[in-house]
């Protein structure tokens, strides 16, 4: 009989509960004025860090699957399932704020000063999640002096590795949907867009409810939209959209993502569509957390500075929109057109859509 199977596993040993449950030491106790609520504060943070570990575990496997080029078709289902798990965990993380908010601002003050200068600022796992997702691509991530030198070195190493954002960019850029045996999909799309905009123009021009000023404003807005469509399809124009911060992905990737969104009913595009939706969910859950955390900090601290020395709520509120990672995919909705206006795909193109995404990487 196998030697290992004879050893009985004991619940507490397997989970190392002795270590885990002896790792909560309130600072207020050390100072001889134990604050009841500090235990909840510690346990909530620890629960966050444990979930961060699981998120990183999932992200690392997703990044590993993307690192194989061309992407193994079989891994797509696993990637999508792992990202779904990340989203489910993020929902739990957002709910945990409810538990934390049972600490009242006055009770928080019983132990807050003992924590200085420690802060969530110094959560290395949180920074790693940001970097793994691709935040460094959008906002240069200063690895701050508030971290220990070994943590700074570790995060620099993570920052030098390809992030999920970059891998998705490369994967989208390799998709073969842009031109197909003489059929230029994007030319058909351009014509469909122009027809749609012309219809919109007619309805603005003939709408009796608009005053002259309103009509001019609507027409100017329509012209603005038309210009954006032009920019999207033109390499030089696209650089303008990038300069405006609308996109960080390369043009071929944006067009592939748009194609997936538009034709997501094609069976072969179901998984890519779910993948893109999950990236938006991850971004949305993260943004929700940042926003709720900023509000919670304001509720606890008002306009006091944070224990880590930032301006507190003001700093956190700024990060809510600044630290979006997959906002490109949200901005893409600008370019969706109704199903009824979509160009029908030639039969051979429909048949040949496949997961063999090979070809050029984006520059
Ligand atoms: C009473 C509860 C909390 C308050 C009042 C609070 C307050 C703050 C403040 C003011 C900051 C800005 C940095 C600073 O100056 O310290 C911050 C940053 C941060 N906190 Fe919290 N926090 C709380 C709970 C948590 C929890 C439970 C977590 C989970 C790990 C967390 C994670 C973070 C992270 C990751 C940052 C850095 C955010 C960034 O730079 O984008 N915080 N917190």
**pLDDT (tens digit per residue) in 108-155:** 999 999 999 999 999 999 999 999 999 987 776 665 658 899 999 999
Q: Tell me the CA–centroid distance for residue 67 and ligand 1, in Å.
A: 33
Q: What is the reported pLDDT for 359? A: 46
> CA-to-CA distance for 208 and 222, rounded, in angstroms?
18
Q: What is the reported pLDDT for 356? A: 47
Model pLDDT for residues 10-29, shown as the tens digit of each residue? 999 999 999 999 999 999 99
Q: pLDDT at residue 358 above 60?
A: no
Model pLDDT for residues 286-315, shown as the tens digit of each residue? 999 999 999 999 999 999 988 888 889 999
> CA-to-CA distance for 24 and 45, rounded, in angstroms?
11
Q: Is residue 126 in contact with ligand 1, taking CB distance under 6 Å?
A: yes
Q: Once rounded to an integer, what is the mean pLDDT over residues 337-360? A: 72
> CA-to-CA distance for 133 and 326, rounded, in angstroms?
9
Q: Tell me the CA–centroid distance for residue 123 and ligand 1, in Å.
A: 9
Q: Is residue 277 in contact with ligand 1, taking CB distance under 6 Å?
A: no
Q: Is 55 exposed, middle or buried (0-12, 13-18, 19+ CB in 10 A)?
A: buried
Model pLDDT for residues 180-223, shown as the tens digit of each residue? 777 888 899 999 999 999 999 999 999 999 999 999 999 999 99
Closest residue by Cα to atom 26, ligand 1, is 45
CB 261 within 8 A of CB 270: no
Q: Tell me the CA–centroid distance for residue 156 and ligand 1, in Å.
A: 22
Q: What is the reported pLDDT for 185? A: 87
Three-state SS at 330: helix
Q: Is residue 120 in contact with ligand 1, taking CB distance under 6 Å?
A: yes
Q: What is the reported pLDDT for 144? A: 62
Closest residue by Cα to atom 17, ligand 1, is 120
Q: Tell me the CA–centroid distance for residue 121 and ligand 1, in Å.
A: 6
> CA-to-CA distance for 156 and 270, rounded, in angstroms?
36
Q: Percentage of residues in the chain with pLDDT exceeding 70?
A: 93
Q: Is residue 44 in contact with ligand 1, taking CB distance under 6 Å?
A: yes
- Atom index in ligand 1 nearest the CA of residue 126 equals 35
CB 55 within 8 A of CB 285: no
Torsion angle defined by CA atoms of residues 207, 210, 212 and 215, in that order, rounded to the nearest 10 degrees:
-70
- Atom index in ligand 1 nearest the CA of residue 103 equals 1
CB 164 within 8 A of CB 66: yes
Model pLDDT for residues 36-80, shown as the tens digit of each residue? 999 999 999 999 999 999 999 999 999 999 999 888 878 999 999
> CA-to-CA distance for 45 and 137, rounded, in angstroms?
27
Q: Is residue 312 in contact with ligand 1, taking CB distance under 6 Å?
A: yes
Whole-prediction pTM: 0.92
Class level of CATH domain 17-352: mainly alpha
Q: Is residue 121 in contact with ligand 1, taking CB distance under 6 Å?
A: yes
> CA-to-CA distance for 142 and 148, rounded, in angstroms?
14
Other CB atoms closer than 10 Å to residue 187's CB: what's the count? 12
Closest residue by Cα to atom 33, ligand 1, is 120
- Atom index in ligand 1 nearest the CA of residue 96 equals 27
Q: What is the reported pLDDT for 167? A: 96
Q: pLDDT at residue 360 above 90?
A: no
Q: Is residue 162 in contact with ligand 1, taking CB distance under 6 Å?
A: no
> CA-to-CA distance for 260 and 354, rounded, in angstroms?
12
Q: Is residue 75 in contact with ligand 1, taking CB distance under 6 Å?
A: no
Closest residue by Cα to atom 5, ligand 1, is 297
């Amino acid at each position: 009989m196998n030697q290992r199977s004879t050893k009985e596993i004991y619940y507490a040993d397997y989970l190392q509960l002795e270590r885990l449950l002896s790792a909560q030491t309130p600072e207020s106790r050390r100072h001889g004025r134990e604050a009841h609520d500090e235990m909840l504060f510690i346990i909530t943070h620890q629960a966050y860090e444990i979930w961060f570990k699981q998120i990183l575990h999932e992200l690392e496997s997703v990044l590993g699957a993307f690192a194989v080029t061309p992407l193994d078709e079989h891994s797509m289902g696993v990637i999508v399932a792992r990202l779904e798990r990340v989203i489910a965990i993020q929902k739990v993380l957002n709910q945990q704020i409810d538990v934390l908010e049972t600490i009242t601002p006055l009770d928080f003050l019983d132990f807050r000063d003992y924590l200085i200068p420690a802060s969530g600022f110094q959560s290395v796992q949180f920074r790693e999640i940001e970097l793994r997702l691709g935040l460094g691509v959008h906002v240069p991530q200063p690895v701050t002096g508030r971290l220990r030198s070994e943590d700074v070195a570790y995060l620099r190493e993570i920052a030098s590795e390809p992030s999920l954002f970059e891998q998705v960019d490369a994967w989208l850029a390799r998709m073969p949907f842009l031109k197909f045996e003489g059929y230029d999909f994007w030319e058909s799309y351009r014509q469909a867009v122009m027809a749609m905009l012309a219809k919109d123009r007619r309805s603005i021009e003939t709408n009796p409810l608009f005053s002259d000023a309103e009509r001019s404003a609507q027409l100017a807005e329509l012209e603005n939209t038309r210009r954006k469509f032009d920019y999207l399809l033109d390499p030089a124009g696209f650089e303008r959209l990038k300069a405006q911060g609308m996109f960080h992905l390369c043009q071929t990737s944006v067009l592939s993502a748009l194609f997936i969104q538009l034709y997501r009913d094609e069976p072969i595009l179901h998984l890519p569509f779910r993948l893109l939706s999950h990236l938006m969910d991850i971004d949305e859950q993260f943004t929700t957390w940042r926003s709720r955390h900023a509000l919670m900090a304001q509720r606890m601290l008002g306009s006091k500075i944070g224990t880590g020395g930032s301006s507190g709520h003001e700093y956190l509120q700024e990060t809510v929109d600044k630290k979006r990672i997959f906002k490109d995919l949200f901005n893409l909705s600008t370019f969706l057109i109704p199903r009824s206006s979509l160009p029908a795909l030639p039969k051979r193109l429909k048949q040949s859509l496949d997961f063999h995404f090979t070809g050029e990487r984006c520059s």
